[in-house]
């Protein structure tokens, strides 16, 4: 990838359930610290949801698809993540690769078994941890001259995580997967990213 001349965006395709909250936060903080804008279908009502997802994919430079939770849920397999991956792969084809698709998983070789049609894509393995997510993101999106490290991302992640009770209270609910909470999370991640930049500037002052 060449040097970015504008803020590029990433469509984030993940399961929206409580067990995934830590990784959800890791994706938002990690992508923000790497200078990317996150597009997600969080808070979009079911009516018109597919059209919204297609639009978000079309306006994104990249997409990330986490397939670590496509197992059965209450006896029913989760097809949403695979469906959105298919839409993104088609977008990549019609744009001749200008839309780049990345797959994340928690276990090695499982994506090749569950979704064998993507065998040419090498999934990033995060082992179900925030650190693993951030390491994978940095390997993909780090630009020449960008000194952002995984430990720095984790510092920001922990700072935003401390604010989750307030974000839940502000939204009047328990779920992080609401439009207003998503906005709070992305703003908090931007603030922490700026704090990191400020710390670097202070550290290099004579």
Domains annotated for the chain, with CATH where assigned, are: 9-203 (3.40.50.10140)
Q: Where do the DSSP E strands lie in the chain? A: 9-13, 37-39, 62-66, 72-73, 76-77, 100-105, 124-125
Q: What φ, ψ does residue 149 adopt, rounded to 5°?
A: -115, 160
pLDDT band at 2 (very low <50, low <70, confident <90, very high): very low
With contact defined as beta carbons under 8 Å apart, do 202 and 170 qualify? Answer: no
| Count of CA atoms in the C-beta half-sphere (13 A) of 123 | 26
Which of 4-13, 178-187, 189-198 is least confident?
4-13
What's the mean pLDDT when you consider all of the chain?
86
**Distance from the Cα of residue 190 to its chain's centroid:** 14
Closest-CA residue to 101 (of 116, 84, 114): 84
**Distance from the Cα of residue 158 to its chain's centroid:** 17
- pTM of structure: 0.88
Q: What is the pLDDT of residues 126-173, one digit of tens each?
A: 999 999 999 999 999 988 778 889 999 999 999 999 999 999 999 998
Q: What is the pLDDT of residues 100-126, one digit of tens each?
A: 999 999 987 665 555 555 556 788 999
With contact defined as beta carbons under 8 Å apart, do 102 and 89 qualify? Answer: no
Partner residues linked to 13 by β-bridges:
65
Q: Give the per-residue SS3 of 63-101.
A: EEEECCCCCEECCEECCHHHHHHHHHHHHHHHCCCCCEE
């Amino acid at each position: 990838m060449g040097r970015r001349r504008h803020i590029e965006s990433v469509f984030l395709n993940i399961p929206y359930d409580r067990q995934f909250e830590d990784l959800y936060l890791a994706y938002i903080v990690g992508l923000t610290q790497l200078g990317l804008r996150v597009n997600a279908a969080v808070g979009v009502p079911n009516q018109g949801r597919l059209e919204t997802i297609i639009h978000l994919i079309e306006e994104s430079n990249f997409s990330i698809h986490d397939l670590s939770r496509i197992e059965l849920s209450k006896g029913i397999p989760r097809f949403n993540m695979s469906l959105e991956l298919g839409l993104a792969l088609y977008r990549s084809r019609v744009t001749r690769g200008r839309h780049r698709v990345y797959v994340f998983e928690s276990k090695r070789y499982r994506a090749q078994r569950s979704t064998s049609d993507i065998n040419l894509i090498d999934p990033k393995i995060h082992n179900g941890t925030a650190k693993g997510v951030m390491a994978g993101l940095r390997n993909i999106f780090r630009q020449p001259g960008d000194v952002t490290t995984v430990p720095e991302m984790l510092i920001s992640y922990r700072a935003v995580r401390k604010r989750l009770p307030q974000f839940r209270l502000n939204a009047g609910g328990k779920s992080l997967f609401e439009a207003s909470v998503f906005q709070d999370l992305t703003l908090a991640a931007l603030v922490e990213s700026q704090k990191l930049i400020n710390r670097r500037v202070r550290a290099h002052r004579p």
